[in-house]
Chains A and B, each alone.
Chain A
Amino acid sequence: MTRLNTDLWVGVGVSLFAVALLVYVIPQAVVVPRSVRYIVLSPDFWPEILAYALLLLGVLMTLKGIFFTAPDGQAEGPSLFSAGSLRVLGIGGVFAGYYLLIPVLGMVWASVLAYGALAAIFRSRHRLAALLVAILLPLILYAFFTHIAGVPIPQGQYVRLP
């Protein structure tokens, strides 16, 4: 898979996406009133134009990928499954956990945990600095947004901050 040309992958992906838009997504997700005065004013006119443009560009990209071999360094496809992919999966886990923990622990403590998890994924050698920043940064931001900017930062169900 990684041997394939990036342009070809992009072209095929964009073309398929455009077809899906035209065939399924736009008819399902764009509500068109029964009486539209001019077709160019219809809510689905603009998305359809863009979908056709994407289809055209996708086909162009596919043809470019088939008939033009990129020079060294660009010919390889996206190596999404290389050595760092586990760490990238870990980042996905941190993002998901961070989002889900905000309503439970509150933004401050979710941030402390997310910072720590990310520093661990990055295998930081500066553990003390990371620990200090992990605790202080969310607290300082909480103080700024809550007490200066007047933004109610979400509090958790367990520990509430003043």
Chain B
Amino acid sequence: MTMMDNAAAALSLVAQWGSLLALLVGVAVGVVAGAIPGMSATMAVALALPFTFALEPIYGILLLLGVYKGGIFGGSIPAILIKTPGTAASSATVLDGYPLAEQGKSGQALQMALYASCIADLISNLALILFAAWLASFALKFGPPEFFTLILFSLSIIAGVSGGSLVKGLIAGAFGLLLATVGLDLVYGTDRFIFGHPDMMGGLNFIAVLIGLFALPEIIAFAMNGKDEREGGVRALGDHKLPFSEVRRCMKTIIRGGVIGSVLGAIPGIGAAPSAFLSYSEARRTSPNKENFGKGELEGVAAAEAGNNGVCGATLIPLLALGIPGDVITAIIIGAFMVHGLQPGPMMFATNGDMIYALFMGLILSSIFLFFIGGASIRLFRFIADIPKSVLLPGVLVLCVYGVYAVNNSVFDILVMFAMGWVGYLMMRLHIPAAPFLIAFILGPLLEDNFRQAMLMGQGDFAILFRSPITWVFWALTVFTLTVLIRNGLRDRKAQQGRLAVANKD
């Protein structure tokens, strides 16, 4: 099929009431979920996933992408109104959003957040459309040794940037890889860590592990803390109208934030929060109003929101082109592809090109839907943000149980989810990041499978892993990344020791 054929087929997929409705519902659910403190965009996408099983693949995936985009924007609402970021990515929005709310300008801050989110999202989507196909055509030259080195490189980045401690990130990643070995061996068909339990022959259910790891620890942690704690009350919307001159003034910052988000989003493992902070710090560095940053500057809100929404489309570049999730949310979305019998990666451009182009179109549409849904519901947000956690979290538990059961009609999966909930809580308490665990769990079978295929090709000789310039590039990148991460870790440790020494002196 030519590109035009694919585009025409994609248009027929997207231009259906079902696709539009899925996208609309997804964005609306995402905005509401993101606006509820304690319901992250990750949790929203994870909980929405089981509801897509009964849908057509295109409807299901569009719905999840809508939840993702809506969730990232929705996180800015409580950040501005109650100084509680709905998602980690919205942490930078608090810096200027809440001071604006205190000045009675939360309506303007929310409008600026919406405009910045939609424009940056559009930039990110364009980056995806321009670069994904190019990267995928390049990746068609990859064989098992190249994929093995690529996945190893992705794991090194993910383990490094997901937490304050590189060693803890690597420990989490190693546990994720180990858990992925549960089930029947792919080459010999023998048991690995099954302990005679037939339910474990196919490996542990990815959705059960995911939901257990990300949703249940929040419930347990809330039980430990005991009450809804909020710094400050919900602010009134105040002055609602945002003058267009303000949007024009911030346009350069928004576009820069969108570009920063697109670049960082395309690199696996970086995520939306660092992008938001980088965009914010760049805006503060170059702004003529830099002294107002942190005291209630609309440009600060625009920079933070453009930075975090700018990653949304770009994180799909490694997912669609290479089959590698760029962050935790795209790791969940990869699960949706698999459930519907689709394998993201370079071959998908050849075998399901219509689906890829349909997703591109849907993503552009989602920016438009986000603009209208976000704009229309700004006045409702303060009620959404007020839902007490003692009513919300038991509901999340019920949703988790139904959702996990629905994947395989298996009560055993519920047990796996509960077990992973406790693992996730323990990791939370011990400051071990959960994201490298999950991503390693997803990439583990791919890593091992490509390694063993490469070994079969090379008749057990490790030299096959260095057979081409592509493998050399990925080895070099892996070594470079680990060197930088170790150097940064040592530097941070020295700085901490210096601070301690000064504190002890005092």
User: In whole angstroms, what is the CA distance A145 to B174 when docked?
Assistant: 36
Task: Answer whether A84 and B226 are a contact pair too, CB < 8 Å, given A40-B460, A115-B397.
Answer: yes
User: In whole angstroms, what is the CA distance A116 to B391 when docked?
Assistant: 10
Task: Answer whether A114 and B394 are a contact pair too, CB < 8 Å, given A29-B192, A41-B456, A87-B226.
Answer: yes
A162 interfacial by beta-carbon distance below 8 Å: no
B459 touches A10 (CB 8 A): no
Query: Which residue of chain B lies nearest to A151 when distances are taken between CB atoms in the complex?
Result: B406
A90 touches B223 (CB 8 A): yes
A22 interfacial by beta-carbon distance below 8 Å: no
A126 interfacial by beta-carbon distance below 8 Å: yes
Contacts of A41 in B (CB 8 A): 187, 452, 455-456, 460
A129 interfacial by beta-carbon distance below 8 Å: yes
Contacts of A19 in B (CB 8 A): none
For A57, give its contact among B51, B174, B187, B391 (CB under 8 Å): B174
Contacts of B167 in A (CB 8 A): 57, 60-61, 64
A68 touches B493 (CB 8 A): yes
For A10, give its contact among B422, B430, B500 (CB under 8 Å): B430
Contacts of A122 in B (CB 8 A): 222-223, 226, 389-390, 393-394
A43 touches B185 (CB 8 A): yes
Which of B185, B402, B451 is most buried by chain A, counting CB atoms within 10 A of its CB? Answer: B402
Task: Answer whether A57 and B171 are a contact pair too, CB < 8 Å, given A68-B493, A149-B54.
Answer: yes
Contacts of A10 in B (CB 8 A): 168, 171, 430, 432
Task: Answer whether A111 and B191 are a contact pair too, CB < 8 Å, given A60-B167, A64-B167, A99-B415.
Answer: no
Task: Answer whether A54 and B393 are a contact pair too, CB < 8 Å, given A10-B432, A91-B223, A115-B398.
Answer: no
Contacts of B496 in A (CB 8 A): 70-71
Mark each residue of chain B from 91 to 104: 1 if its CB lies under 8 Å from any CB of chain A, else 0.
Answer: 00000000000000
B225 touches A119 (CB 8 A): no
Contacts of B390 in A (CB 8 A): 119, 122-126, 130
Q: Which of A12-56 contact B (CB under 8 A)?
A: 14, 21, 25, 29-33, 36-41, 43-44, 46-47, 50-51, 53-54
User: In whole angstroms, what is the CA distance A58 to B390 when docked?
Assistant: 38
Task: Answer whether A84 and B415 are a contact pair too, CB < 8 Å, given A50-B177, A118-B397, A124-B388.
Answer: no
Contacts of B194 in A (CB 8 A): 29
User: In whole angstroms, what is the CA distance A78 to B395 when docked?
Assistant: 28
Query: Which residue of chain B lies nearest to A118 when distances are taken between CB atoms in the complex?
Result: B394
Q: Which of A114-153 contact B (CB under 8 A)?
A: 114-116, 118-119, 121-126, 129-130, 133-134, 137-138, 141, 144-145, 148-153
Contacts of A88 in B (CB 8 A): 220, 223-224
Task: Answer whether A30 and B171 are a contact pair too, CB < 8 Å, given A71-B500, A151-B406.
Answer: no
> How far is the CB of B157 from the nearest CB of chain A, in Å?
17
Contacts of A144 in B (CB 8 A): 51
Contacts of B456 in A (CB 8 A): 41
Contacts of B219 in A (CB 8 A): 91, 118
Query: Which residue of chain B lies nearest to A72 when distances are taken between CB atoms in the complex?
Result: B503
A156 interfacial by beta-carbon distance below 8 Å: no
B168 touches A107 (CB 8 A): no
For A61, give its contact among B171, B227, B388 (CB under 8 Å): B171
> How far is the CB of B89 from the nearest CB of chain A, in Å?
24
A84 touches B402 (CB 8 A): no
Contacts of B191 in A (CB 8 A): 29-31
> How far is the CB of A154 from the nearest CB of chain B, in Å?
7
B371 interfacial by beta-carbon distance below 8 Å: no
Contacts of A6 in B (CB 8 A): 430-431
Which of A83, A91, A94 is most buried by chain B, counting CB atoms within 10 A of its CB? Answer: A91
A30 touches B192 (CB 8 A): yes
Contacts of B397 in A (CB 8 A): 94, 98, 114-115, 118
Task: Answer whether A118 and B401 are a contact pair too, CB < 8 Å, given A71-B499, A78-B430.
Answer: no
Q: Which 6 A-B pairs have the closest CB atoms?
A: A38-B460, A124-B390, A149-B54, A84-B224, A118-B394, A122-B390
Interface residues of chain A, those whose CB is within 8 Å of chain B, are 6-7, 9-10, 14, 21, 25, 29-33, 36-41, 43-44, 46-47, 50-51, 53-54, 57-58, 60-61, 64, 68-72, 74, 78, 80, 82-85, 87-88, 90-92, 94-96, 98-99, 102-103, 107, 111, 114-116, 118-119, 121-126, 129-130, 133-134, 137-138, 141, 144-145, 148-154
Interface residues of chain B, those whose CB is within 8 Å of chain A, are 51, 53-54, 165, 167-168, 170-171, 174-175, 177-178, 181, 185, 187-188, 190-195, 219-220, 222-227, 388-391, 393-395, 397-399, 401-402, 405-406, 409, 411, 414-415, 418, 421-422, 429-432, 448, 451-452, 455-456, 459-460, 462, 493, 496-497, 499-500, 503
